[in-house]
Amino acid sequence: MLSVVLVLVFLSCGILAWRRRNRNKDEPPPLPGALPLIGHIHLLLGNSSQLWDLTKKMSYACLNAGGVASFYIGPRPMYLVTDPEDCMLITNTCLQKDAFYDFGKPWLGDGLITAAFPIWKVHRKLLNPAFNQFILDGFIDVFNRQARRLVKDLVGEVDKGPFDQFDYLLPSSLETTCLTVMAVDFSDKSLLNSKYVHATQNMYKFVTERFQKPWLHSDVTFNWSSLKRKQDESLKIMRNMSDTVLKKRKAEYLNNKKQAKPEDTAEGPKFTPFIDILLELAIEKGAFSDRQIKEHVDTLLLSGYDTTASALMYTMLLVGSYPEVQEKIGDELHNIFGDKDRDVTKQDLSELVYLEAVLKETIRMYPLAPIIARKLDQDIKLRNYTLSNGRTCLLSAYGLHRHPIWGPNVEQFKPERWLNSETLPQCPTAFSGFGMGRRICIGKSYALMSMKTTLAHVFRRYRVSGNHLLMKTNLDVMLKPVSGYYIKIEMRKKT
Ligand code: HEM
Ligand SMILES: *[C@@H]1O[C@H](CO)[C@@H](O)[C@H](O)[C@H]1NC(C)=O
Ligand SMILES: *[C@@H]1O[C@H](CO)[C@@H](O)[C@H](O)[C@H]1NC(C)=O
Ligand SMILES: *[C@@H]1O[C@H](CO)[C@@H](O)[C@H](O)[C@H]1NC(C)=O
Ligand SMILES: *[C@@H]1O[C@H](CO)[C@@H](O)[C@H](O)[C@H]1NC(C)=O
């Protein structure tokens, strides 16, 4: 009943919007497929694999339209942008996330991803130093240890045929992130670990389902839905983990302070988990409440583990699909490490140039966050159009990564393109796998360091094979594989 009323309200607002729309000359062209009154809303319905198909189709349509287009969710006009310069202008000017991000608020609160602009501005400044190179260098030991553990766990799959990489990568990345964010080792509490992984993956699905059901966009209707009850279940599991950890670490922090500080031997970076930096800011400077610390921890945990696990998954699959790429990675590793099985050092990381190119090219092909959104808080004058204040603007990394400025081989997997800065697109937003503008990913260097270390260990030991052309993906907030992503591994050196 309620949904019928809502549909009627939508329809009548639609009539008004339809009339108004046809007046504005400065509006970007509408994407194909709109129906009178409901606009593009019918395209949104369906499951998350259809949502992904739609995202690809609309991104290409937007590229064809010149890089800026409009579409209509019932009465609400929105924009889609795939032009690099315009994306840069928009994401440097508008720092307010769109209302869709509020769907993640029960979980991530005022963490950096979902925080409203005034809080984000203060907190991002406070957190930036936590990601400086000195702190990150202190994590290299953890990255090496975790990579060795992963390599060891994978032994069981050697010569056994295709297997689900995520069974290894998700727990491994979660443990790494738990260690660096909270200094907590969950490796032997696999129950909590797998429960948490399950809960977060479900949470992505719930948020996507809500997005695809416009009648659940309002809190009033959502609070009555079964989806809300399922979401609350997952939230309980995730909160339990960060609650437990925060309590423990806070007690330890206060306890350590009471004792005399251990002398800092000034020999290089020491390990400082992010939570200690947050606690110091909270306890010494009163910068955060307990709730805010928890929201930052939840945000860092999620954005740290899920993304790196996915990027590693896509990379191994792509490398397994292109033997010549795997060959070159092998050569680079051999040049740096010879036959030694030593740890990856800071120096090595800067020399793993080809491996980094492979990672970036993977994320170009498979952007983990294919679409991000901003709420326009002012009129934005682009080269050809003016976008109106108050509206939602979607920015398609998927489209940006297929823009003609990448050259004629834009659809091909070519890590080599990253090795020649002259042929790479100059506009920084052309590659937006880590977001764009002033709310760009805070963890980019962290992620690259961690992933390069992991892959160096894995490819030193194993040869992988797979076929990314068989993979099917969904858009569950993030780009998620559903099938066809399994790989096989064999030993690189037969001993
Ligand atoms: C392959 C790995 C990663 C990818 C592809 C990635 C991608 C992204 C993207 C696309 C955004 C922008 C979201 C938006 O504008 O709505 C973002 C933001 C963010 N990422 Fe990452 N990320 C990765 C790793 C990490 C890691 C390891 C961390 C932390 C340990 C992290 C923490 C964050 C945070 C806190 C934000 C919000 C920044 C802000 O709004 O100020 N990310 N990331
Ligand atoms: C999504 O829906 C389409 C069409 O109804 C169907 O073919 C497909 O199997 C569904 N995918 C998933 C992941 O449920
Ligand atoms: C702007 O308009 C010109 C000429 O019609 C077109 O070539 C170009 O692609 C458009 N660019 C954007 C970003 O809309
Ligand atoms: C919906 O539920 C949440 C808590 O689960 C509550 O904070 C919020 O105020 C509710 N909103 C409405 C409109 O009922
Ligand atoms: C939190 O997790 C612990 C350990 O798994 C469990 O004993 C406890 O009952 C959980 N608490 C809640 C509120 O779910």
Most distant CA pair in the chain: distance in Å? 74
- Whether the pLDDT of residue 387 is over 90: the answer is yes
Q: Which ligand is nearest to the CA of 190?
A: 5
- Whether the pLDDT of residue 405 is over 80: the answer is yes
What is the reported pTM?
0.92
Q: Which ligand is nearest to the CA of 273?
A: 1
Q: How many angstroms does the Cα of residue 62 sit away from the middle of ligand 2?
A: 25
Sign, CA dihedral 196-197-199-200, equals positive
| Closest C-alpha among 356, 337, 368, 492 to residue 432 | 368
The Cα 117–Cα 275 span in angstroms is 23
Indicate the pLDDT class of residue 194, thresholds 50, 70 and 90. confident
Nearest protein CA to atom 31 of ligand 1, as residue: 443
Q: What angle do CA 387, 390, 393 make, to 5 degrees?
A: 55
> In terms of pLDDT, which residue wins out, 21 or 462?
462
Looking at ligand 1, which atom is closest to the CA of residue 359? 1
- Whether the pLDDT of residue 129 is over 80: the answer is yes
Nearest protein CA to atom 1 of ligand 2, as residue: 47
Question: φ and ψ at 380, to 5 degrees?
Answer: -115, 120
Q: How many Cα atoms sit within 13 Å of 18 on the Cβ side?
A: 14
414-436: average pLDDT = 95
Radius of gyration of the chain (CA): 23
Q: How many angstroms does the Cα of residue 233 sit away from the middle of ligand 5?
A: 12
Per-residue pLDDT at 51:
93
Pocket of ligand 2 (CB under 6 A): 46-47, 49-50, 482
Looking at ligand 5, which atom is closest to the CA of residue 237? 14
pLDDT tens-digit series, residues 21-65: 554 668 899 999 988 888 998 888 888 999 999 999 999 999 999
Rounded to whole angstroms, what are the CA distances from 89 to 220, 383, 420, 427, 428? 35, 10, 26, 11, 11
Rounded to whole angstroms, what are the CA distances from 476 to 201, 203, 229, 305? 9, 9, 19, 16
Pocket of ligand 3 (CB under 6 A): 66-68, 83, 86, 383-384
Is 459 within 8 Å of 330 (Cβ atoms)? yes
Rounded to whole angstroms, what are the CA distances from 325 to 87, 315, 367, 433, 485? 31, 11, 20, 21, 18
443-472: average pLDDT = 97
Per-residue pLDDT at 356:
98
Per-residue pLDDT at 495:
46
| Closest C-alpha among 361, 486, 398, 433 to residue 52 | 398
> In terms of pLDDT, which residue wins out, 260 or 163?
163
Nearest protein CA to atom 9 of ligand 5, as residue: 240
Per-residue pLDDT at 330:
97
Is 291 within 8 Å of 109 (Cβ atoms)? yes
235-239: average pLDDT = 91
> In terms of pLDDT, which residue wins out, 261 or 79?
79
- Whether the pLDDT of residue 253 is over 90: the answer is no
> Which residues face 490 on adjacent strands?
463
> In terms of pLDDT, which residue wins out, 411 or 269?
411
Indicate the pLDDT class of residue 191, thresholds 50, 70 and 90. low
Per-residue pLDDT at 6:
60
Mutate to test the pocket of ligand 1, among 441, 452, 454, 479 (most ligand atoms within 8 A of CB): 441
DSSP codes joined into one string, 429-452: GGS-TT--GGG--TTHHHHHHHHH
Nearest protein CA to atom 13 of ligand 2, as residue: 49
Residue ranges of domains in the chain, CATH in brackets: 23-260+267-491 (1.10.630.10)
Q: How many Cα atoms sit within 13 Å of 323 on the Cβ side?
A: 1
Pocket of ligand 5 (CB under 6 A): 192, 236, 240
Q: How many angstroms does the Cα of residue 43 sit away from the middle of ligand 3?
A: 26
Q: Helix 290-321 and helix 323-337: axis angle, to 10°?
A: 110
Per-residue pLDDT at 18:
56
Number of residues written out for the chain: 495
Indicate the pLDDT class of residue 195, thresholds 50, 70 and 90. confident
Nearest protein CA to atom 7 of ligand 5, as residue: 240
Pocket of ligand 1 (CB under 6 A): 112-113, 124, 299-300, 303-304, 307-308, 311, 363, 368-369, 372, 433-435, 439, 441-443, 446-447
Continuous segment of H or E residues that includes residue 479: strand 478-483
Continuous segment of H or E residues that includes residue 141: helix 140-154
214-227: average pLDDT = 93
- CB 93: neighbour CB atoms within 10 A? 14
Looking at ligand 2, which atom is closest to the CA of residue 474? 13
Nearest protein CA to atom 17 of ligand 1, as residue: 441
- Whether the pLDDT of residue 11 is over 60: the answer is no
> Which residues face 73 on adjacent strands?
39, 76
- Whether the pLDDT of residue 190 is over 70: the answer is no
The Cα 264–Cα 261 span in angstroms is 8
Indicate the pLDDT class of residue 252, thresholds 50, 70 and 90. confident
Rounded to whole angstroms, what are the CA distances from 103 to 42, 65, 203, 219, 245? 21, 30, 10, 9, 25
Query: Among 197-206, 350-359, 366-375, 452-461, whose mean pLDDT is lowest?
Result: 197-206
User: Residues with Cβ < 8 Å from 279, sequence gap 6 or more?
Assistant: 249, 250, 253, 293
Indicate the pLDDT class of residue 251, thresholds 50, 70 and 90. confident
Nearest protein CA to atom 11 of ligand 4, as residue: 219
Per-residue pLDDT at 293:
92
Nearest protein CA to atom 10 of ligand 1, as residue: 435
Kindly state the tokens that stand for 253.
Answer: 């922090």
Rounded to the nearest 10 degrees, how much is the dihedral formed by the CA atoms of 323, 328, 331, 333?
-100
Q: Which ligand is nearest to the CA of 240?
A: 5
- Whether the pLDDT of residue 158 is over 80: the answer is yes
Within 338-475, residue ranges assigned H as helices are: 346-351, 353-365, 397-400, 444-461
Tokens 């993977």, located at residue = 362
Per-residue pLDDT at 250:
84
Mean pLDDT of the chain: 90
Is 62 within 8 Å of 396 (Cβ atoms)? yes
Per-residue pLDDT at 3:
61
